[in-house]
Amino acid sequence: MSVSNATSGMGGVASPTESFPKSAPPAERALLGRVAPLLLVLVACGRTPPPPPLFELVSPAATGVTFVNQVPDQDTALNIINFLNYYDGGGVAVGDIDGDGLPDLYFTSNVGPNRLYRNLGNYRFEDITERAGVADPAGWKTGVTMADVNGDGLLDIYVSAMSYLTMHGHNVLYINNGDGTFTDRTKEYGLDFAGYSTQAVFFDYDGDGDLDMYLLNYSAHSERGPSTHPQRELRHPRAGDRLYRNEGGGHFVDVSDQAHIYGGVEGYGLGVVASPELLRPLRARAEHAPAARAAPSPGRRPPLP
């Protein structure tokens, strides 16, 4: 089929009857004249427009969320050379802290102030950090978790932090008072850990109806001593993960040893998640485990049920 320089009809493409050889029988030329426009219509219908984007970028000026996690590029006391996760970033938690049905936001900043934003609806947020009393703990902040820690139907906030070199941080539990404010009750609840914390997750690991806490911790190369064997067994005071059981009445107990949680210096934890689907078989195994178990030999851990 030849192409002409015509600028009318089909956008510069010659009509089908003009392009078909003139020597062809009239019947064939007539058939092409009827079929070709139909084919062109079908091709045009197949050109569907691209779907709209799934996400839309909304500016801080429009949302009111102006949080920025800024770390110094030139810090001689704490930097990427002497602190492995210097650029790992902060954390964010999303949850409805005031019961209005809208998800609110809490951001942790490594060295700057943490921020709590209340959702006003229509993608607008209000910074209520100071009024809520959850500005931030001292030190290098890493992660944050929202959970109903005391079971009163209100979301509380648990902030993880690091204590290393010049940064003397510690974890903080903010209990929701139900009036838009929070109270630091970390020590009262037994969750006042100071070390290399990365993130915490609350879940009911023992099936008693209240939330327990698994604390994920990081480590530092400077803590490791010379050794040709894995250093997982000996529990480290600042590194190594922890499991805290909720005893009720606003108090948690460290049960890491009983639960066989490794707490050595080689625990470089970066992320943690708890899944109910994984907990069900573990609970079933625990329920069918023998009531009495032989004591482990010195220096060895007993087998899991």
Residue 281, pLDDT score: 53
pLDDT (tens digit, 9 = 90+) per residue, 124-166?
999 999 999 998 767 788 889 999 999 999 999 999 887 766 6
Using the Cα atoms of residue 174, residue 176, residue 181 and residue 184 in order, give the sign of their dihedral.
Answer: negative
Q: What is the DSSP string of 256-288?
A: TTTTT---STT---------HHHHHHHHHHHHT
Average pLDDT over every residue of 57-76: 88
Torsion of the alpha carbons at 265, 271, 276 and 278, rounded to the nearest 10: -60
Q: What is the DSSP string of 103-170?
A: -EEEE--SSS--EEEEEEETTEEEE-HHHHT----SSEEEEEEEE-TTSSSS-EEEEEEEEETTEE--
Half-sphere exposure of 15 toward its Cβ, with a 13 Å CA cutoff? 8
C-alpha span between 141 and 44 (Å, rounded): 57
User: What are 197's strand-pairing partners?
Assistant: 217
CB atoms within 10 A of CB 64: 15
C-alpha span between 90 and 105 (Å, rounded): 13
C-alpha span between 57 and 216 (Å, rounded): 32
| pTM of the complete model beyond 0.85 | no
The mean-pLDDT minimum among 3-7, 10-14, 21-25, 94-98 falls in 3-7
pLDDT (tens digit, 9 = 90+) per residue, 226-269?
455 555 556 655 667 888 999 988 899 988 778 666 655 566 65
Residue 249, pLDDT score: 87
Highest averaged pLDDT of the listed ranges 62-71, 85-94, 241-250, 269-278: 62-71
Residue 128, pLDDT score: 97
